Amino acid sequence: MIRKDAMKIVLEQIDSEPIISANGFMSRDLFELKEKNSNFYMIGSMGLASSIGLGVALKNPRKKIFIFDGDGNIFMNLGSLVTIGYLRPKNMIHIIFDNNSHESTGGQPTASNKINISKFGHICNYKIFVVENKISLKNCLKKIKKINQSIMIVIKISKSKEKSKRVSLEPEFIKKRFMKSFNRKN
Amino acid sequence: MTNSFQTKIFNFFQKNDITNFIGVPDSTLKEFISLGLKNKKVIVTTREEEAIGIATGMCLSGSKSLVFMQNAGFANSLSTITSLVKLYKIPIIFLIGWRGYLKDDAPEHIMIGKIQPDLLKIIELPSKILTSNNWKSNCEWAIKKIQNNSSCALIVKREFHD
């Protein structure tokens, strides 16, 4: 399963809920698969998708907030897990597409084959799921609907040769549109 | 910098709708941060970039935020400021303690303290230095900046040794 396949399955469960997507191919895949107002494509600031997502989650406790993260991205900001675990937002679904590589920069390896990301999530008070195929991903997405706690789903994926197009929107436009997508009453 | 001075700044920002104070502690800003903690308004993060990320998420939700840090942490934050805050025009007030302002400060602060004013200029982050006389007008200036969707920095000089 490549990232795009996994992302497609996840996106079937997402309607207008906000998604904060990590820089690089992550945001590009999302842009190609499901362009919508409530997507925040983080095109720079590597590592910070989960921190931005935490800020959104804390201020919108009644909305489910999705974070599309990568193994390279989360390793760059492990401190974010500490703060998330400390604050324990109940409305955050942190998905880590783990291809054991920095695919956007040429496929260089990360440590995720030897360092278990889900264990970090476990000690940081997440409910953890690790899935390796489409069926278990679909089952997991059904299960999480009833869970009232920060959720981490580590999806083991393989590297892909496909490259999605760049996010062609102006960053300020992405921001304004994302902000407008919130119904402040929620 | 006296206790009452930092207390006034904190109270001013609270009154002006700044609801989130996020950052990494700095001894120069001790009173400000302590007051925020007492009021349960502060989130202490592991690094400054993380604080900026969380503040960004809150700004995106229409909630105004201030990020505090020491200037060592400002140096950590350069890429986040250029590729997130400036790029997306995220309105954040940075409150930065200026170590290395005194020429005989601890050695690790000397170089960053020296280049800090230039760094602020180079990354085009408008800034003002707070004093006991000007704090109010400069804090008002910062509020206007974020109302206009722009980020800015307020600097607190470290004028004592401990």
Within an 8 Å CB–CB cutoff, is residue B82 touching chain A? yes
Pairing of strands A39-41, A19-21: parallel
Let me know: does B153 contact B126? Beta carbons within 8 Å.
Answer: yes
Instruction: Read off the pLDDT band of A185 (50, 70, 90).
Output: very low
Structure tokens at A133: 């195929």
For the residues of A64-98, what is the DSSP string, one character each?
-EEEEEEHHHHHHTHHHHHHHHHH--SSEEEEEEE
What's residue A186's pLDDT? 37
ipTM of the complex: 0.96
Write the pLDDT tens digit of every residue in A35-61. 999 999 999 999 999 999 999 999 999
Give the model's pLDDT for residue B4: 74
Render the burial of B12-31: b for 16+ CB within 10 Å, e for the rest.
Answer: bbeeeebebbbbbbbebbeb
pTM for the model stands at 0.97
pLDDT at A131 over 80: yes
The Cα of B87 is separated from the nearest Cα of chain A by a number of Å equal to 6
Query: Nearest-CA distance from A1 to chain B in Å?
Result: 30
State whether residue B122 is helix, strand or coil: helix
Amino acid B160: pLDDT: 83
Closest residue in chain A to residue B80, using alpha carbons only: A45
Average pLDDT rounded to a whole number, residues A109-118: 97
B83 Cβ under 8 Å from any chain A Cβ: yes
Q: State the pLDDT confidence band at A183, using cuts at 50, 70 and 90.
A: low
What architecture is the A3-180 domain classified under in CATH?
3-Layer(aba) Sandwich (3.40)
Residue A143: alpha-carbon gap to chain centroid: 18
Q: Which residue has the higher pLDDT, A160 or A156?
A: A156
| Residue whose token pair is 């476990």 | A122
Mutation for B interface: A21, A46, A83, most B CBs within 10 A = A83
Angstrom distance (rounded) from CA B40 to CA B10: 13
Domain boundaries, chain B: 3-157
Q: What percent of chain A has pLDDT over 90?
A: 95
Q: Which of B66, B89, B62, B67 is closest to A63 using CA atoms?
A: B62
Q: What is the mean pLDDT of residues A28-38?
A: 97
State which amino acid sits at residue A39: N
Nearest to A11 by CA among A68, A89, A77, A90: A68
- Tell me the C-alpha distance between B55 and B42, whole Å: 11
Q: Tens of pLDDT along chain B (162 residues)?
A: 455 789 999 999 999 999 999 999 999 999 999 999 999 999 999 999 999 999 999 999 999 999 999 999 999 999 999 999 999 999 999 999 999 999 999 999 999 999 999 999 999 999 999 999 999 999 999 999 999 999 999 999 998 887
Structural fold of domain B3-157 = Rossmann fold (3.40.50)
The answer to whether B57 contacts A80, with C-beta atoms less than 8 Å apart, is no
Residue A74: what residue type? I
| CA–CA gap between residue A56 and residue A37 (Å, rounded) | 15
Rounded to an integer, what distance in angstroms lies between the CA atom of residue B66 and that of residue B23?
Answer: 8
Inform me whether the C-beta atom of residue B90 falls under 8 Å from chain A C-beta atoms.
yes
Q: Mean of the pLDDT values across residues A136-151?
A: 96
Q: What percent of chain A has pLDDT over 70?
A: 98
How far lies B75's CA from each of B69, B80, B84, B113, B115, in Å?
10, 10, 15, 10, 10
A68-108: per-residue pLDDT in tens?
999 999 999 999 999 999 999 999 999 999 999 999 999 99
